[in-house]
Amino acid sequence: MFSTELAQTLLSGVLMGLIFSLVAVGLTLIWGIMDIVNFAHGDFLMSGMYISYWMYALWGIDPLLSLPVSGAFLFFLGMVAYRLVIRRILGAPMLIQIFATFGIMILMRYLAFYFFKPNYRSIQQTLLSGNIDLHGVYLSIPQLAAAAGAFLTTGAVYVLIHKTRVGGALQATAEDREAAALMGINTDRMFTLAWGIGAATAGIAGSLLSTFFYIFPEVGGIFGLIAFVAVTLGGFGNVAGAFVAGILIGVVEAMAGYLYDPALKTVFVYVLFLGVLFFRPQGLLGVE
């Protein structure tokens, strides 16, 4: 009985962790490439959730089908945020950069609050409803599908960064902005692209989450903070690191809820974060 519960906890932790990974990958991309912390990242995710919710509520479109829409829309939104705001503060002091993205966060969160009201919403019936029973361990199919989707998307970003020419240009820009520009890389375009991809991954994660997680205007706060933790754990700009860290956080959170107290599970995540910050500031997987 104990082992079944433990297995259940671990598996749910891993499934949730895969989503955290996807959210963190988008954040680490922007952070690594331009050294800007995007506080609005969780709210990009919230937008993705609402896109799926409304397409479902208004037209009965399944989140599985609205997922590309929310990816595309957030890609566009990310680029707009860069062009309108971030590009103008690239050389500004860190404090100003923090505040610019904070402003975007508040703007997005309370636009959602104003138009969609603070109600908790959820999508009840999807193409993939139901549970799978693995010898007493129950896994909900929407959560399983979301984890699989997150895994595939994270993999796609990894391939894009590490195996393509554009990815090489992005990495070069992250490494040394000026040298990359001298080599003929249009760094401004790379930054725009990084914001597009970063926001799109958050949007996709939002659509995946919308099938089993409550949707409300402030939901981004939860995922935004966890993504920061994952990025720190994984090493800034490290996509593979963010992936591993996301799963680790999912498991730690689930285990803390199971062994201790669900109300305090986020405290354990933050303590993990602080521990890594103090003892391995280059990230768990990072090199000195």
Partner 1 sequence: MASGVAAGSGFLYARNGALLAAALAYPFLFRQSFPQDLAIKIFLFGGLASAWNVLGGFAGQVSLGNAIFFGVGAYAAAVVQTQWGWTPWAGMLLGMAASAGIGALIGYPCFRLKGHYFAMATLAIGEVISTLFMNWQWVGGAVGVYIPLRDDTWKYFQFGTTKLPYYYVMLAFLVSALLLSAALLRSRMGYYFRAIREDQDAARSLGVPARRYKLAAMGISAALTSAGGSLYAQYVLFIDPHSVFPMMLSIQVVLIAILGGVGTLWGPVVGAMVLIPLSEFTRIYIGGTGSGLDLIAYGLLIIVISVIQPRGVLGFFRKAGAA
Nearer to partner 1, 109 or 177 (CB): 109
Residue 98 touching partner 1 (CB under 8 A): yes
Residue 267 touching partner 1 (CB under 8 A): yes
Residue 256 touching partner 1 (CB under 8 A): no
Report the SS3 class of residue 184. Answer: coil
Q: How far is the CB of 106 from partner 1 (least distance, A)?
A: 3
Contact region for partner 1 (CB under 8 A) — 16-24, 173-181, 203-211, 227-235?
Answer: 227-235
Residue of the chain from 1, 58, 95, 287 that contacts partner 1 (CB under 8 A):
95
- Measured between alpha carbons, how far apart are the two ends of the chain, in Å? 44
Nearer to partner 1, 185 or 265 (CB): 265
**How is residue 210 annotated by DSSP?**
T
Residue 88 touching partner 1 (CB under 8 A): yes
The CA distance from 208 to 26, in Å, is 15
Residue of the chain from 5, 65, 103, 186 that contacts partner 1 (CB under 8 A):
103
Q: How far is the CB of 232 from partner 1 (least distance, A)?
A: 7
The CA distance from 9 to 140, in Å, is 13
Residue in this structure with the two tokens 């240009």, named with its chain if needed:
169
Nearer to partner 1, 92 or 134 (CB): 92
Residue 134 has φ and ψ, to the nearest 5°, of: -105, 85
Distance of CA 24 to the CA centre of its chain: 4
Residue 72 has φ and ψ, to the nearest 5°, of: -65, -45
Residue 191 touching partner 1 (CB under 8 A): no
How far are the Cα atoms of 20, 75, 131, 170, 190 from residue 72, in angstroms, in the given order? 20, 5, 30, 20, 17
The CA distance from 124 to 60, in Å, is 11
Residue 266 touching partner 1 (CB under 8 A): yes
Residue 276 token pair: 């890594």
The CA distance from 56 to 62, in Å, is 6
Q: How far is the CB of 251 from partner 1 (least distance, A)?
A: 19
Residue of the chain from 108, 137, 215, 249 that contacts partner 1 (CB under 8 A):
108
Report the SS3 class of residue 283. Answer: coil
Residue 106 touching partner 1 (CB under 8 A): yes
Nearer to partner 1, 168 or 281 (CB): 281
Q: Catalog residues that contact partner 1 under the rule CB under 8 A.
A: 37, 85, 88-89, 92-100, 102-111, 113-114, 217, 225, 228-229, 232, 261, 263-264, 266-267, 270-271, 273-274, 277-278, 281
